A and B are shown apart, each in its own frame.
Chain A
Amino acid sequence: MIHFDNVTKVYANQNRPALDHISVDVDKGEFVFLVGPSGSGKSTFLRLVLKEERPNAGAIHVAGKDLARLSNFKVPHLRRRIGCVFQDFRLLPNKNVYENVAFALEVIGKPRRFIRKVVPEVVELVGLEGKAHRMPDELSGGEQQRVAMARAFVNRPMILLADEPTGNIDPATSIGIMKVLDRINRTGTTVVMATHDAAIVDSMRKRVVELEDGKIVRDQSRGVYGQAY
């Protein structure tokens, strides 16, 4: 599903590569934790998958497409098959829960009938039934992240990328967020989650890829967070 082959990324004005000859394979339906300290290249990895950045060397394949040969014109279509969740939720403050989720479908031109049918289903899937008409500032952090996950998942992407989704959320609420991610993963969606949260990684017992200074130092199935130390 995601295939990195010897990928190197150096940002302009920086000597040290953000990613240094990375090769990694993520299969369809897998759940992968991307761990490592800040600046180890986790976010760069996710940005490369989205083709927000281009690698300086190496090849990236996502959902069977060679990103180097994917024209800019087709990038939006790639992104429709990838959902994204961030630490800061990135909701629209002037739209309610339903509208925030529906926005993702409106802007890719889905018909209104389809949106009316699908959005409530997804809002229920993330556990926000009955709160569809709340505004984001009336929701807790955990609930806002659920909205963000609903928006990321509403178009049934093949891949869900999560960049520290529990970074702003207390541990008890984080468990709920992880349950939703697990639920999404069980529908067959590949999930890649970058995180610092050792407790979550340890409890989930999924594949762990650890980055340090842009290099993979550990790739372990059913791993835990801190084993390398």
Chain B
Amino acid sequence: MRANFIFSEVWIGLRRNLTMTVAVIVTVAIGMALLGVGLMINAQVSNMKDFWADKVEISAFLCSKDSPFEACKNTGGVTEQERETLRQQIQAMPEVQQVYYEDAAKAYQNFKTQYGADSVLVAAVKVEDMPESFRVKVKNPESYTAVMERIKGAPGVSNVVDQKKILEIWFSLLERLRWSALAVAFILVFAAILLIGNTVRLSAYNRRRETGIMRLVGASNLYIQLPFVMEGMIAGLVGGVVAATLLIMSKVFLFESVGQYLGSSALGWNDVAWVIMLTMAIGVIICVMASFVTLRRYLRV
């Protein structure tokens, strides 16, 4: 009886305020979807950071015969002795985990696989143009700069490239995307709270006869307030379901297409499921809280 009664009241309330309810659902859905996208980008960034942390290397390129770099001017390329000294020097560093040598032929091979064998770029480049290099792996990501600085000045080294720098451009782009998604989500959540407030106020006004009688015959506060709070909750829940659909779509169409370049660091479905559950919970909680707070103002008990 109780549940029956409350659900029929909730249904009547939602139907009477259909346009407002739809407005609440749409706002909550978009707000929560953007919040979810923000969280998914977050998960993606941390996935990628973990993935790349043990793959990022420092590349110390060595002078070739006609290297344009300032450090190589008039040297005529790195000598056998310089190369050996450098290798020993790098291996002696306590921060270094591993170092290996990549000669010009190997570099050309990598270059070719990266750009495709029949590309114009590959055709224009000869094996002799490729620089030989030392690839250095560091035990601890924090010591990158220190190691780099020490290699930089060594004789025979043309330039030092830190792959982390390249990744960081990526990360900062993702970070900016995440913050803008979260900022818009925040604004929409704010709008949703105001909308819910208005919906509840309308609902309370529409049902003032019923609530007046309920008060009079001694219905408990919970009983009077529950239909209103449930209206908010159901709007939040439906909004959450729509948001979940949007998030699944964004995973399929957005993250999946980026993910194919990321290998195992791509966002998994378990991350998405977690994000969906979190955004749904947040959406429902926000709706319930907003309903409850406005009820205190517009429904005298």
Contact = CB atoms under 8 A, between A and B. Distances in A.
Interface of A: 50, 72-73, 76-82, 84, 90, 92, 103-104, 106-112, 115, 151-152, 155
A69 B40 CA distance: 54
Interface in B1-41: 1-2, 5
A108 B217 contact: yes
Given A78-B218, A80-B218, A92-B209, A107 B1 contact: no
Contact of B1 (A77, A81, A106): A106
A73 B222 CA distance: 10
Nearest to A95: B210
Contact of B221 (A76, A103, A104, A155): A76
Contacts of B210: 92, 103
Given A90-B212, A92-B210, A103-B213, A108 B5 contact: no
Nearest to A161: B216
Given A90-B212, A92-B213, A108 B1 contact: no
For the complex, would chain B's binding face be called helix, strand, loop or mixed by DSSP majority?
Answer: helix
A175 B72 CA distance: 118
B220 A76 contact: yes
Which 7 pairs, one residue from A and one from B, show the smallest C-beta to C-beta distance? A80-B218, A79-B218, A107-B219, A104-B217, A76-B218, A112-B1, A107-B214
Contacts of A104: 213, 217
Given A106-B5, A112-B1, A90 B213 contact: yes
A76 B219 contact: yes
12 contacts: A76-B220, A80-B217, A82-B218, A84-B216, A90-B216, A104-B213, A107-B5, A107-B213, A107-B217, A108-B223, A109-B220, A111-B1
A73 B223 CA distance: 12
B298 to A, nearest CB: 17
Nearest to B1: A112
B2 to A, nearest CB: 5
A155 to B, nearest CB: 7
B164 interface: no
B215 interface: yes
Contacts of A92: 209-210, 213
Contacts of A50: 216
Contacts of A152: 217
A155 B217 contact: yes
Contacts of B220: 76, 108-109
Contacts of A112: 1
Interface string B211-246: 011111111110110000000000000000000000
A109 B217 contact: no
A107 B217 CA distance: 8
B217 A79 contact: yes
Nearest to A50: B216
Contacts of A111: 1
A110 B5 CA distance: 11
A81 B213 CA distance: 14
A111 to B, nearest CB: 6
A90 B223 contact: no
B216 A79 contact: yes
Nearest to B221: A76
A80 B301 CA distance: 14
A72 B296 CA distance: 13
Nearest to A100: B213
B15 to A, nearest CB: 13
A115 B217 CA distance: 15
A79 B215 contact: yes
Nearest to B300: A52
A228 B192 CA distance: 62
Nearest to B2: A109
A115 B1 CA distance: 10
Contacts of B224: 107
Nearest to A113: B1
B218 A108 contact: yes
Nearest to B5: A106
Contacts of A106: 1, 5
A25 to B, nearest CB: 24
Contacts of A80: 217-218
